[in-house]
Structure 1
Amino acid sequence: MNTPTLSILIYHRVLARPDPLLPSLPDVRRFDGQMALLKRCFNVLPVSLAVRLLRRRALPPRAACITFDDGYADNADHALPILRKHGLSAAFFIASGYLNGGQMWNDDLIEHARQMGLGPEALDELLMRHKYLPMEEREQVARALAPARREQMMMTSEQIRKLLGAGMEIGAHTHRHPILASIPDAAAWADIVRGKATLESITQTPVRLFAYPNGKPDQDYRHQHVQMVRELGFEAAFSTVAGVACEGSDPLQLPRFTPWEPDRLRFLLRLAAQRRKAVWRAG
């Protein structure tokens, strides 16, 4: 049985060099190797095209696409040149409220952990303790703990236009990256609308792709948020449910997975295992 499947990868950052505090994040060397392997072994498609082909049951064999969440400046500085080197396209989901000098709460806590000499496990515990606090409280606590900023971490409007001009796609990721299930519906609607409108003002083009912040269904977003996304005219939306999209996948709740593996062999094995699992479930 030839079951068409689509592997959708999630990235957040591509670092200039490895960071012992953030071992799961790829640096430019690891990312370059992953993109070379992906290009060699898969049919890598622009996200919008991949979604259309999935709906029409017309995906090529070993279809894959690449996404980035949040809007870090290193996406434009480090990831983009590597994507262009390999002739690949990606979609970048931007939390518009942090553009042009903003910083997300988790990065404030990461820098606090670095200053305190904490390791990766202690950092993970710190982030989890704060993730589901009310949004305003979470940001207030993180700002109070954060040391002075050493660099601008998030994109500028000009970098978004640079990505678009290089053939990349821009998607929405809300304005302030709230966990939608934790705020009133009216606030969730307003934040999604503002994020979409801000990006459309920057790009002067419709924004048709969306990624749910944090992305776990029922825990981080609920059915009413999917309906909001539908009403706002998004053509596809993405969760963080680990898996591979296939026939019957909800186009407004497409699964994705993060390639944590530090070497190319395990990266490839992970991709293959996800696809086998999807085919087994389908058939």
Structure 2
Amino acid sequence: MVNSPSSQKSGYQRATVPVKRMIAGVLLGRLLRRVVVSNHVWIVAFHRVDDLAYPNPLTCGITQFEECCELLARTFRVVPLSQQLDRLGREDCGGTLSITFDDGYLDNFEHAAPILERLGLPATFFVATGFIGTDAVAWWDRELPDTPKWMSWDQVRSLHSRGFDIGCHTVNHADLGSLAEKDAERELLESRQRLCRELNTEIDLFAYPYGGPEHMNAENLLIVKNSGLRCSLSCHGGVNAINSDPFSLRRIPINSAGGETAKDIAYHLLRNMAPL
């Protein structure tokens, strides 16, 4: 989906674990928050939150996820993605971070949402509508020892009623970079229409499936812009300038492949700004 396991892992391994944690511990102090964090707009992306396939490039362990959320709450001003979009171009946008999830896994409802609520953190769940309420097995999950399950529509509605944002992620988790224009348009419009109908509200947030540069192209980005959606998010790492284009926002994927502590997560966030 996002970066390959080997490419994500290699980025972590450029420094030893003790060195990574020492760097993160120093930079996570007041200097980082004032100079680095406050001058950028941050978005992080999770996929699964469970202990079934841990460590895994798309999975964050339950305890690790809670520690990560506590770190994010201490270091950033965590706001809903919709509010972050409202503030783009304004000075008070700097230092904000939004938490997002992709695909629509059941563990998002069972494990992630209760932790977020306990910590008072908002989040956006981007769901592939064709997976919700089904027993479908995504191709990237076929080799896992325990097949992850998807949320039901009642559970998606529950998240929405509890104040979480829901966003589009196409119908079939489509690679929009390789689809013909008419097929890309169908994936976008049908997923948005289904979400609007199921949740009885307007849906205007969108994140690209897979999320790499090769999974986007200019023609299909134009479809996103003309469809009534207000943003498009990638998932290949990097932070955003305060005045970023809402249709070119970067997200930092977080998983369990590079370590298990909050300082490992902190080091990963810093690496997404510049090589260390």
Give your verdict on TM over 0.5. Answer: yes
Q: Which residue does 1:185 correspond to in 2?
A: 181
Deviation of residue 103 (structure 1)? 2.0
Moved over 4 A (4+): none
C-alpha separation in 2, matches of 1:177 and 1:161? 20
CA contact (8 A) 2:171 2:191 kept: yes
Pairing partner for 2:152 from 151, 156, 167:
156
C-alpha separation in 2, matches of 1:35 and 1:152? 22
Q: Which residue does 1:258 correspond to in 2?
A: 253
Q: Which residue does 1:87 correspond to in 2?
A: 120
CA contact (8 A) 2:79 2:122 kept: yes
C-alpha separation in 1, matches of 2:71 and 2:151? 27
Structure 2 residue 267 is the aligned partner of structure 1 residue 269: yes
Report the 3-state secondary structure (helix = DSSP H, G, I; strand = E; otherwise coil) of the residue aligned with 1:40: helix
Deviation of residue 248 (structure 1)? 4.1
Note the alpha carbon deviations across 1:201-231, whole angstroms, 9 max, x for none.
11111111001111122x1120111111111
CA contact (8 A) 1:101 1:152 kept: no
CA contact (8 A) 2:93 2:242 kept: no
Aligned amino acid, residue 169 of structure 2: H
Note the alpha carbon deviations across 1:139-170, whole angstroms, 9 max, x for none.
xxxxxxxxxxx777011111111111111100
> Are residues 152 and 4 of structure 1, via their aligned partners in 2, closer, same or farther at CA, if it must alter by over 3 Å?
closer
Of 183-192 and 263-272, more deviation after overlay is shown by 263-272
Aligned amino acid, residue 97 of structure 2: A
> Are residues 27 and 59 of structure 1, via their aligned partners in 2, closer, same or farther at CA, if it must alter by over 3 Å?
same
Structure 2 residue 46 is the aligned partner of structure 1 residue 11: yes
Deviation of residue 107 (structure 1)? 4.9
Structure 2 residue 80 is the aligned partner of structure 1 residue 46: yes
Aligned amino acid, residue 106 of structure 1: W
CA contact (8 A) 2:47 2:101 kept: yes
Report the 3-state secondary structure (helix = DSSP H, G, I; strand = E; otherwise coil) of the residue aligned with 1:88: coil
CA contact (8 A) 1:18 1:26 kept: no
Q: How does 1:1-283 map to 2 (within 5 A)?
A: 4-15=39-50, 17=51, 19-20=53-54, 22=56, 25-60=59-94, 62-111=95-144, 114=145, 153-217=149-213, 219-260=214-255, 261=258, 262-275=260-273, 277=274
Report the 3-state secondary structure (helix = DSSP H, G, I; strand = E; otherwise coil) of the residue aligned with 2:196: helix
Aligned amino acid, residue 229 of structure 1: V
CA contact (8 A) 2:141 2:147 kept: no
Note the alpha carbon deviations across 1:221-264, whole angstroms, 9 max, x for none.
20111111111111111011310011342211200111234211
The alignment covers a number of residue pairs equal to 237
Deviation of residue 271 (structure 1)? 2.4
Q: Which runs of 5+ in 2 are unaligned?
A: 1-34
Of 266-275 and 193-202, more deviation after overlay is shown by 266-275
Deviation of residue 196 (structure 1)? 0.4
Q: Which runs of 5+ in 1 are unaligned?
A: 115-149, 279-283
CA contact (8 A) 2:54 2:61 kept: no
Aligned amino acid, residue 274 of structure 1: N
**Identity value in percent:** 30
